[in-house]
């Protein structure tokens, strides 16, 4: 089975191939003109991107919308995670979030990584969501991963998501949860 | 009656004097060492600042914590409004919020100005909260006011809070509501 993944992010593509490959799904990246992300939720934005890819390619397509939701910010950055600093530079986004949270003590830094995947085919639209609980670090650490990984301490760990082996991260991340749900959905007879 | 207002913001001081003066309250500004705003709500941060001013001066003291709460951001910037861009420059904060919300259509830009005032005296601690509903503008306009006024369109208006006459703003703003509650509280026999 062949699916197009509407993403220009090589990290996300590699994660998807690692998780869906063993399920017999061949993942091709598709990078078309980016639709405006006018949705007000991860789900709406994932659908907007998956529909655009399906319409452009005529092939079954999926897209993800994901981000970090900080409790004391009411779930922000949320759908705005990728443009939090006004641009798309990961480090600038992370540094801004740490600066905003500078006076907030560790016990109030609860946060989750959230990923919603929308799959759009000729016959249906389905969505899958994974949530990875943890907290916002006091400072960045680690060289693996991307996005907010260096400032996210997963529940049960004392290191950031960027300090985990990619295999460990792929076994438990928000995106792997959502991709795993999709893999199970696709493998149903 | 004399109260110290823990603020270094001359705009807020003038607003408070305009509203409390007619109620017979003389407002003095107090600018001491700023306590860390470690609270997770407007109420907690207002109390932190008012307590610090009361302890430093020995006089009845009040402080406000206020900001803009954007619905699609789950209430953020909220308590982080003043340091939203990492610093305290109003224009940079506003421009960042507009950039984050660039793809969000007008019907989803609901926002409120929120102000909580804490009053701390020898005998009691009391808090007052005002909420001014409206929406986030698509771009800044207006020269009056301060903070997020140029990007906030109050409900019932088609202009920003920074385009209103100060008298009109002072009659309906979040801060005037909270100050009015405090004035009524203080004037009770």
Our answer to whether residue A103 is catalytic in this structure is: no
Q: Which of A73, A16, A66 is nearest to A42 (CA)?
A: A66
Q: Is A139 helix (H, G, I), strand (E, B) or coil?
A: coil
- pTM recorded for the entire structure: 0.92
CB contact under 8 A, B37 and A103: yes
pLDDT digits 0-9 by tens, B140-178: 999 998 899 999 999 999 999 999 998 899 889 999 999
Confidence of residue B89 (pLDDT cuts 50, 70, 90): very high
- Selected catalytic residue, list B64, B65, B90, B149: B65
pLDDT at B150: 98
pLDDT, tens digit (0-9, with 9 covering 90-100), for A174-183: 999 999 999 9
Segments in chain A below pLDDT 70: none
Beta-carbon separation of B103 and A72 below 8 A = no
Kindly list the structural domains of chain B, giving each domain's residue range(s) and its CATH number in brackets, ordered by start. Answer: 2-186 (3.90.950.10)
Per 3-state DSSP, chain B is made up of helix, strand and coil in percentages (nearest 5) of: 40, 25, 35
> What's the number of CA atoms in the CB half-sphere (13 Å) around residue A36?
8
Asked if B38 lies within 8 A of A73 by C-beta distance, the reply is no
- The first and second tokens of residue B35, run together, are 């306590």
Contacts of A165 (CB under 8 A, 6+ apart): A144
The C-alpha atoms of residue B72 and residue A131 are separated, in whole angstroms, by 19
Contacts of A55 (CB under 8 A, 6+ apart): none
Burial of B162 (0-12, 13-18, 19+ CB in 10 A): buried
As a whole number, mean pLDDT of residues B128-141 equals: 98
- Residue B172 and residue B159: Cα distance in Å, rounded? 14
Kindly give, in sequence order, each residue whose CB lies less than 8 Å from that of residue B146, ignoring residues fewer than 6 positions away.
B9, B11, B90
Catalytic residue among A64, A65, A90, A149: A65
Q: Retrieve residue A101's tokens.
A: 């949270």
**How many other β-carbons are positioned within 10 Å of the β-carbon of residue B163?**
18
Q: Name the residue among B158, B162, B161 with its Cα closest to residue B144.
A: B162
Tell me the average pLDDT across B73-99: 97
Report the C-alpha gap between B13 and B80 in whole angstroms: 21
Mean pLDDT of B129-142: 98
Task: Please spell the DSSP secondary structure of A13-37, one letter per residue.
Answer: HHHHHHHHGGGT-EEEEE--SPPP-
Alpha-carbon distance of A67 to A174, in angstroms, equals 9
With CA atoms as reference, the chain B residue closest to A42 would be B72
Q: In what order do the strands lie in the sheet with A26-30?
A: A26-30, A2-6, A61-70, A110-120, A125-136, A152-154
Closest CA to B42 of B110, B109, B131: B131
Maximum CA pair distance of chain A? 52
Per-residue confidence (pLDDT) for residue A158, from 0 to 100: 96
Q: Which two tokens stand for residue A88?
A: 């798309």
Give exposure, B122-138, as e/b (b: 16+ Cβ within 10 Å).
eeeeebbbbebebbbbe
Q: What is this model's ipTM?
A: 0.89
Cβ contact (<8 Å) for B38 and A104? yes
Interface mutation vs chain B, best among A74, A96, A99, A136, most B CBs within 10 Å: A74
In sequence order, the 6+-apart residues with CB closer than 8 A to the CB of B119 are B3, B50, B60, B61, B62, B125, B126, B127, B128, B182, B185
**Interface mutation vs chain B, best among A43, A72, A79, most B CBs within 10 Å:** A72
B88 falls in which pLDDT band (50, 70, 90)? confident
Q: How many angstroms separate the CA of residue A102 from the nearest CA in chain B?
A: 9
B83: DSSP letter: G
User: Which two three-digit tokens encode residue A5?
Assistant: 């993944």
CA distance B104 to chain A (A): 5
Q: How many contacts does A have with B, using Cβ atoms within 8 A?
A: 59
Chain B residue at shortest CA distance from A98:
B86
How many angstroms separate the CA atoms of A29 and B13, rounded? 56
Order of strands across the sheet that contains B2-6:
B26-30, B2-6, B61-70, B110-120, B125-136, B152-154
């Amino acid at each position: 089975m062949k699916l197009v993944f509407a993403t220009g992010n090589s990290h996300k593509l590699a994660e998807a191939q690692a998780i869906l490959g063993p399920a017999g799904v061949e993942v091709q990246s598709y990078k078309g003109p980016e639709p405006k992300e006018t949705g007000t939720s991860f789900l709406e934005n994932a659908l907007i991107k998956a529909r655009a890819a399906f319409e452009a390619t005529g092939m079954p397509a999926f897209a993800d919308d994901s981000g970090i939701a900080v409790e004391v910010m009411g779930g922000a950055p949320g759908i705005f995670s990728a443009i939090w600093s006004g641009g798309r530079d990961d480090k600038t986004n992370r540094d801004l979030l740490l600066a905003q949270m500078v006076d907030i003590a560790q016990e109030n830094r609860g946060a989750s990584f959230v990923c919603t995947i929308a799959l759009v085919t000729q016959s249906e639209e389905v969505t899958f969501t994974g949530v990875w609980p943890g907290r916002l670090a006091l400072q960045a650490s680690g060289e693996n991963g991307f996005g907010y990984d260096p400032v996210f301490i997963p529940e049960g760990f004392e290191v950031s998501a960027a300090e985990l082996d990619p295999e460990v991260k792929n076994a438990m991340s928000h995106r792997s949860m959502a991709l795993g749900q999709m893999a199970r959905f696709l493998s149903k007879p």
